[in-house]
Amino acid sequence: MSNEATLHSQQEVMHGAHDHHDHEHHHEDSFISKYVFSMDHKMIAKQFLITGIVWAIIGAFFSVLFRLQLGFPDATFPWLESILGHWAKGGRISAEAYYALVTMHGTILVFFVLTAGLSGTFSNLLIPLQVGARDMASPFMNCLSYWFFFLASLVMMASLFVQTGPASGGWTMYPPLSALGDASIGSKIGVDLWLTSMALFVVSQLLGGLNYISTLLNMRTKGMAMTKMPLTIWSFFFTAVLGVLSFPVLLSGFILLLMDRHAGTSFYLSDIFIAGKALANEGGSAILYQHLFWFLGHPEVYIIILPAMGMVSEVLAVSSRKPIFGYLAMIGSLFAICILAFLVWAHHMFVTGLNPFLGAFFVLLTLLIAVPSAIKVFNWITTIWKGNINFTPASLFSIGFVSTFISGGLTGIWLGNSSIDIHLHDTMFVIAHFHIVMGVSAFFGMFAGIYHWFPKMYGRFMNNTIGYIHFWVTMIGAYLIFWPMHYEGMAGMPRRYYDVSGWASFKQFGGLNEFITIVVILVFAVQLLFVFNFFYSIFKGRKMTNQNPWNATTLEWTTPIHAGHGNWPGEIPEVYRWAYDYSKDGRDFIPQTEPIGPNESAH
């Protein structure tokens, strides 16, 4: 108790003042309208975040389960049977269960955590706060966006419990495997539920995305020219544009798949003999689905990584006390990535029998993306050069992001070159590549965002010590898991193999697989520590005493510590300058709301 007192005594005075202030604007919300069907973007952001965290725990736990199988193919774990039942008879996960876990891990992490949980959280939280708006353009659509996501979550969750199991054809859901119940047990009702859930998810993304775009285009506060926006907002903008343009294509692909499953059409099916009989379908192309899927699927990886890039740019600038280097180049490279994202989808399809001449263009355009990516990396490194860096957990995760983005990005240059892809396609090399560059990196960006804006969300800080432990174990663990995995891929070990012990060419990696699994378990445990820290700090964290704890220039820190619906109690502040006046003219930072002085140097 005395400790609690030490912890919280200093801010009582200030906090009291704010309480008083808050009351003027307070209109009583019911529990339902405040916490459930809230239209306040800040609450919706929290809803996305917490739902995302729940999904992340489930998705990551699935990876622990299938890594157990991969690392210890001969061992039995009786407790597996008690949680998975007949899917793990005798304590060994069955092949069907393994593939269901792999598929769900991918679906959950890519869509529910790193799309909805990441951009859903931070676009919602930061767009109105950083452009100076009271809320989203349509708070109601925003509310719907979350609840469609919630419905999608319910359907996906339900699919885990049906008797024939969830979808198990890989998160890309390629037909004919996903189209024919006879081809795989997971392609029975599991795929229908998967498609339904994803359709709801697309609706949620479109509602959200249109809202983000219209808010930041139309509702910026006075003086907030587009070129004065923080890079976070630029990245959310491009993310939303990508989503709005590509998710509908995915949905169309899903609808055709659903029709092939139930309406007897042959969009994707042709010349198939399965379960002892030849199917009537003729003339379809299984490759058509892949085009439709990857037309979203590739932009999707940028939907995941761009918000992380934006937040890392912001956090690095704030914690280095330096302006982000090359602000316009950063916007330009985001724009270039956004355009190129639509023109590279077929690099996932080099070995499908795609016309090699067409493939050549996709090689060129794919490697072209490395240029804006390289610009961003060099700019981040220059941002911390000659800075004065304060290592908060957020800034450590940002540095970690740059490191993993380099490591994973460089292997993209390997895979984007079709002549190398012909050897490495669908091997563990690909797993290593995309987990580092869009899994680990995106998570690092997300963690940076959570640690950095947690005070804005909850008026308290997360525990730093646990934050440091979280960062270091995750950083070291991520490299230990994924670095050696490249070698498995170099040996041609295919991805999605339940057991490699029967293969003369791949079984030499048994020991390595064991090692990776052990690290996975450790890293997973530390993520639980983070989750605990998150929830504990919501209620018991050190209270925020200063409304601008990181001495940042941006608008969100001009709102009261516990901002009500509407964000600013009085007028929305006016903006006079860009978001990166750190260490300018001998001043530590100059808020965006401060008019340009007569003798100020230009940037």
Which residues partner with 587 through β-bridges? 584
Task: Tell me which stretch binds another protein (CB under 8 A): 227-235, 296-304, 403-411, 562-570.
Answer: 403-411
Quick one: which of 35, 140, 385, 535 contacts another protein (CB under 8 A)?
A: 385
Is 450:123 a contact under the CB 8 Å cutoff?
no
Is 308:445 a contact under the CB 8 Å cutoff?
yes
594 CB-contact burial (10 Å; exposed 0-12 / middle 13-18 / buried 19+): middle
* Smaller CB separation from another protein, 29 or 514: 514
Quick one: which of 161, 386, 571, 598 contacts another protein (CB under 8 A)?
A: 386
- Interacting positions 446-465 with another protein (CB under 8 A): 463-465
x/- string (CB under 8 A) for another protein, residues 3-32? x--xx-------------------------
Task: Indicate whether 396 belongs to the interface with another protein (CB under 8 A).
Answer: yes
Quick one: which of 88, 126, 440, 475 contacts another protein (CB under 8 A)?
A: 475
Is 242:299 a contact under the CB 8 Å cutoff?
yes
Quick one: which of 410, 457, 518, 538 contacts another protein (CB under 8 A)?
A: 410
Task: Indicate whether 596 belongs to the interface with another protein (CB under 8 A).
Answer: no
* Smaller CB separation from another protein, 214 or 464: 464
Residues in CB range of 494: below 8 A, 6 or more apart: 426, 427, 428
Please count the residues of this chain forming the interface with another protein, following the rule CB under 8 A: 136
- Interacting positions 255-314 with another protein (CB under 8 A): 269-274, 276, 278, 282-287
Task: Indicate whether 406 belongs to the interface with another protein (CB under 8 A).
Answer: yes
Quick one: which of 75, 364, 535, 574 contacts another protein (CB under 8 A)?
A: 364
State the Cα–Cα distance between residues 511 and 253, nearest whole angstrom.
Answer: 41
Task: Indicate whether 582 belongs to the interface with another protein (CB under 8 A).
Answer: yes
Task: Indicate whether 81 belongs to the interface with another protein (CB under 8 A).
Answer: no
Task: Indicate whether 505 belongs to the interface with another protein (CB under 8 A).
Answer: yes
CA gyration radius, the chain = 25
State the Cα–Cα distance between residues 135 and 43, nearest whole angstrom.
Answer: 11
Query: Dihedrals φ, ψ of 543, to 5°?
Result: -75, 150
Quick one: which of 422, 535, 595, 596 contacts another protein (CB under 8 A)?
A: 422
How many other CB atoms are found less than 10 A from the CB of residue 266?
Answer: 17
* Smaller CB separation from another protein, 353 or 570: 353
State the Cα–Cα distance between residues 408 and 248, nearest whole angstrom.
Answer: 29
Please confirm whether the linkage preceding 78 is cis (ω < 30° from 0). Answer: no
Q: What is the DSSP letter of 546?
A: S
* Smaller CB separation from another protein, 35 or 532: 532
* Smaller CB separation from another protein, 398 or 559: 398
Both structure tokens of 244: 């709005």
Q: What is the DSSP letter of 557?
A: G
Longest dimension (CA), the chain: 84
x/- string (CB under 8 A) for another protein, residues 206-245? ----------------------------------------
- Interacting positions 542-561 with another protein (CB under 8 A): 542
How many other CB atoms are found less than 10 A from the CB of residue 462?
Answer: 22
Closest CB 352 distance from another protein, rounded Å: 5
Token look-up 């994202």 returns 341
Closest CB 364 distance from another protein, rounded Å: 5
3-state secondary structure of 495: coil
